[in-house]
Amino acid sequence: MSLDDTRFDVNLSILFTELPLLERPAAAAAAGFTAVELWWPWIDAPVPAKSELDALRDALTDAGTQLVGLNFYAGQLPGPDRGALSIPGEESDRFRANIDVAADFAASVGCKALNALYGNRVEGVSEEEQDRLALENLVFAARAADRIGAVLLIEALNQPESPLYPLVSAPAAVDVVDKVNALSGLGNAKFLLDLYHLSMNGEDLTEVIDRYADKTGHVQIADNPGRGAPGTGTLPLTELIGRLRKAGYDGWVGLEYKPGPDGSPASFRWLADN
């Protein structure tokens, strides 16, 4: 199957990280991509200086790259954290401070998808309390996304690598999507379907696609094992992308995998073979 009509974007928080942040959009463009996505780039600053936001906006614009996905503040990522919005106290406050900053930045570059990572379970706080806080913060985020005409993405991670993260299956994440839509009344919460994470959880990927394609707002891929480029593991990613297209998903497919030993540009060779 040809992938010529599939829209791929590059996650600049995992690829091209050998370069400074502001040089990565141009590197992605040189590799042939017109679209990119990012985790929140300032892991210690939910509200960075305007000059830093402006510099990233200019780097994206000057490179001719469209930002198609952006995480809200999620703590130390990469690192031990898996989001902030369900963690009472300082982390929830930092997430709330970031909501409008992230949304306004997304609006400034035409980004229409904002990803809100749920956050790990923490000692001393009941799951019920964390879940109540999470829904409250997700509704705030959904409203901010709606204000700029964007969708709010909710992602399932994988249990082996994120044992404290509660959303480690497609049904668990989609359940939160449905709850947020019911509470907000906006209907703009969507599932972020990451084939790598779901495969690590042992889920039936074809069943997940068939069941949830209509609730999916963004797709990310990496091969398994290893989280490398397609072809480095055993997942039939070309076939799975084709199944997504047949199921009606026509959005972006984010390349969120680790580059191989030859560097980021070499990790896109598989595209020429499909």
127 is catalytic: no
155 is catalytic: yes
Residue 218 DSSP code: E
Q: Which two tokens stand for residue 212?
A: 């949830």
Which candidate in 128, 155, 203, 239 is catalytic?
Answer: 155
C-alpha–C-alpha distance, residues 138 and 116, integer Å: 7
Task: Write the CB contacts of 85 (distance below 8 Å, at least 6 apart in sequence).
Answer: 72, 91, 92, 95, 116, 117, 118, 119, 133, 134, 137, 138, 141
C-alpha–C-alpha distance, residues 190 and 270, integer Å: 29
Distance, CA of 53 to chain centre: 19
Phi-psi map region of 64: left, alpha, beta (phi>0 left; psi -120 to 50 alpha): left
Q: Which residues are the active-site residues? A: 155, 256
